[in-house]
Amino acid sequence: MQNLLDLDLPGLVAFFESIGEKPFRARQVSHWLHQFGADDFAQMTDLAKSLRAKLPEVAEIRPPVLGHEQVSDDGTRKWLLEVGPMNRVETVFIPENERGTLCVSTQVGCALECEFCSTGRQGFNRNLSVAEIIGQLWWANKALGRDPLTPSPSPAGGRGEHRESRGFGNNGERIISNVVLMGMGEPLLNYDNTVSAVSLMLDDHAYGLSRRRVTISTSGIVPAMDRLRAQMPVALAVSLHAPNDALRDRLVPINRKYPLKELMSACQRYVQDGPRDFITFEYVMLDAVNDRPEDAEALLRLTRDVSCKFNLIPFNPFPNSGFRRSPSETVRRFASILMGGGKIATTRKTRGDDIDAACGQLAGQVQDKSRRVINRIEQFMGEV
């Protein structure tokens, strides 16, 4: 049984050809699946009756199972997705004045074990499938499209079927205007599934987002950054967090494999082909660890030849993290040194704090910690 949510457009075309149907059926079905949120072939009224009867025998529409939804005081929403016995991942929607951003997960847990990240602390379990990655957008569109103005008590419920096309507000504006792959996991270590899901996000027959509005965040998997640049360049955020190798080796251990010099060159190459003319460097502000004025000055030297912006993220604490958030005055001073050096530096607002939906707090639930990777870096090198 082929789950149609596991296929990008070329995959859908191949599937329809394999059952003796014309390629345009793929586009038709894609509209139903991704733009109307259909979960039943019977809803696809412009397909020939015979095809509608045949499809349930060879294919299914199986989105991930939705757990409960939490709504924060500031309007941020978080959905839990059940992705196997005792495994859960999280998806977060952050409404802002001009845009709505969905933060999507790509793995159950993460193998890279960055010290300050609660996902990293729980170890790695498995990659999400295409259906599980794109399913987060599918569900969020359904939940938000139903009634964007009031929180929906149960996204899985059957309320408000009046709106024909999902994911658009009352005035036709997009509710989810941006997607960031900044949830649980390292997207570039689940490369193929991530790229297929991203291609659906970009495809006009599916979600039709522009390349500038889909951002992949990576801890710096250099060969995969080059692959992405050639294959599907979307906006890129790189989790830097330290201005020198000694500190980054400790905070972001993948740095031992891809040190800063290589990472900076990869960023320069990416900018040449990417949809934006800069890389966003994410920098989590850890009190007395990486937030001194000389760290900001070292960052300016490190990134001198890279077209980039900085996004300073106040550390989001979790139990036994061993780190503290930098005081806001320290963050301000750090930002002003970067700006004095000619770089744009923004400080991320912390959203969804009260429902643990902020960056690096997505813990979900991972059952099988025995598969935790001991030598996490070497293990994954074969996969990119």
Site residues (vs ligand SF4, CB under 6 A): 110, 112-114, 117, 119-120, 185-186, 219, 239
- CA quadruple 27, 30, 36, 41: dihedral, nearest 10: 100
Q: Which parts of 48-87 interact with ligand SAH (CB under 6 A)?
A: none
Residue 182 beta carbon to ligand SF4: minimum distance, rounded to whole angstroms: 8
Assess whether 359 carries a catalytic annotation. yes
Residue 351 beta carbon to ligand SAH: minimum distance, rounded to whole angstroms: 12
Phi/psi class of residue 123: alpha, beta or left (left: φ > 0; alpha: ψ in -120 to 50)? left
116 binds ligand SAH (CB under 6 A): yes
Which residue in 196, 217, 280, 290 binds ligand SAH (CB under 6 A)? Answer: 217
* Three-class DSSP category at 109: strand
Assess whether 114 carries a catalytic annotation. no
CB atoms within 10 A of CB 163: 16
Which helix (DSSP H) or strand (DSSP E) does residue 89 occupy?
strand 88-95
CB within 8 Å of 281: residues ≥ 6 apart: 237, 238, 240, 303, 308, 309, 310, 311
Residue 308 beta carbon to ligand SAH: minimum distance, rounded to whole angstroms: 14
Select from 35-43, 135-143, 164-172, 217-225 the region that touches ligand SAH (CB under 6 A).
Answer: 217-225
Measuring CA to CA, which residue among 62, 162, 71, 68 is closest to residue 357?
71
Task: Compute the chain's Rg from CA coordinates.
Answer: 21
Catalytic residue among 103, 117, 267, 359: 359
Task: Give the Cα separation of 131 and 39 in Å (integer).
Answer: 13
Which residue in 6, 69, 132, 186 binds ligand SAH (CB under 6 A)? Answer: 186
113 binds ligand SAH (CB under 6 A): no
Catalytic residue among 21, 69, 90, 132: 90
193 binds ligand SAH (CB under 6 A): no
Query: Footprint of ligand SAH on this chain (CB under 6 A)?
Result: 114, 116-117, 182, 186, 217-219, 239, 282, 284, 313, 315-316, 359-360
